[in-house]
Chains A and B, each alone.
Chain A
Amino acid sequence: MFRLLNRTFGLLTLVIGAVALIAVLNNVVVYAESAAVDETQQNGPEANLKYLFAVFFLVWAFFFGYTFFLSRRLKEMKSEVAILKKIISEKE
């Protein structure tokens, strides 16, 4: 079960990475030297605030997601221990 979980985790990571890479290569690739800064976007005290919130949202979403992943794994481990205890007691 754990190997299956590990494999799923690895595959999921690879798929997400591949999709992200395709999205990046598809439209938005430019070289850094040619990147232009739109100064009008930087005016005003609240300009680009959405990007700051997006960063915090994503970071916390990842942390909570990983915690959820760990808690699920812990739950599965507990159930496996219970099954193993039962098997061993039956054999004895």
Chain B
Amino acid sequence: MSVMKTIFFVGSCTLMLITIYMIFMWVPTEQNLGISQRIFYVHVPLGWIGMVSILVVGIASIGHLLTRNNTWDAVAYSAAELGVIFATLILITGAVWAKPVWGVWWSWDPKLTTTLILWFIYVGYLMVRSFSTPGSQGRRYASVVALLGAIDAPIIYLASIWWRTAHPNLNIGPLAEADSDLDGRMYITFFVSLMTFTVFYVYVMLERIQMRKCEDDLDEVHQYVSLT
């Protein structure tokens, strides 16, 4: 486990440096949006992680509900905590990008609104965990919240197809348009950035899961000590 973590840590650091070089020095500037288009290489990978994270929370919650295994719960909790951070960053970076491009910090665009809902789902999950009584009941309730929340991920992805939105058409993914106008170097930079954030996410997840297990063990020892 520690070898894997080291590999992911070194990998994410190296890739992060390469990504920064590519974004600032290598990739060409988009003609219409100008230099602010480079926010795309950070904003979209953050969005990808935010959506993946809620799916991880949902799958781990199913695992916990079926098996009652606390490892699944640790995975779900860790993914939710990381998810709230990434979802916050999606909203913030999106707002900073929207200002020079749309002229406003925020609009009730379907993609923005569904992402805001995702943020509230993450916070709701963590609030249920925090305010429920110790034991398995709170975990089960939170698992149900996570399952409902996981439905939001495909809605965010498909929002630009289903509704009229200020976001551009899908350039990447299974439903992307074939005649995308992205330059080859832009694609490469985007995929390197996507890989960087994914590796970083996996590394932090491994750290957080381990820490979460320690927290659970400590709680058990606390209960044991208070009983004896």
Say if the beta carbon of A9 comes within 8 Å of chain B: yes
Q: Distance (Å) between the CB of A80 and the closest chain B CB?
A: 6
Interface 1/0 per residue, B195-228 and A, CB below 8 Å: 0000000001001100100110011011001001
Task: Give the interface size bracket for B toward A.
Answer: 35 or more
A-B residue pair count with CB separations less than 8 angstroms: 131
Q: Are B33 and A42 in contact (CB under 8 A)?
A: yes
Q: Are A28 and B104 in contact (CB under 8 A)?
A: yes
Q: Distance (Å) between the CB of A17 and the closest chain B CB?
A: 6
Q: Are B100 and A62 in contact (CB under 8 A)?
A: no
Q: Are A38 and B103 in contact (CB under 8 A)?
A: yes
- With A17-B119, A24-B106, A31-B108 known to touch, is A51 a contact of B99 (CB < 8 Å)? yes
Q: Are A9 and B126 in contact (CB under 8 A)?
A: yes
Interface SS of chain A: helix
Q: Distance (Å) between the CB of B176 and the closest chain A CB?
A: 21
A74 to B228, CA, bound (A): 26
Most buried by A among B43, B89, B106, B219: B106
A70 to B207, CA, bound (A): 9
**Nearest 6 Cβ contacts at the A-B interface:** A32-B166, A48-B36, A35-B102, A32-B107, A48-B100, A10-B130
Known: A35-B103, A47-B34, A48-B36. 6 other contacts (CB 8 A): A10-B123, A29-B104, A30-B107, A32-B109, A59-B46, A70-B211
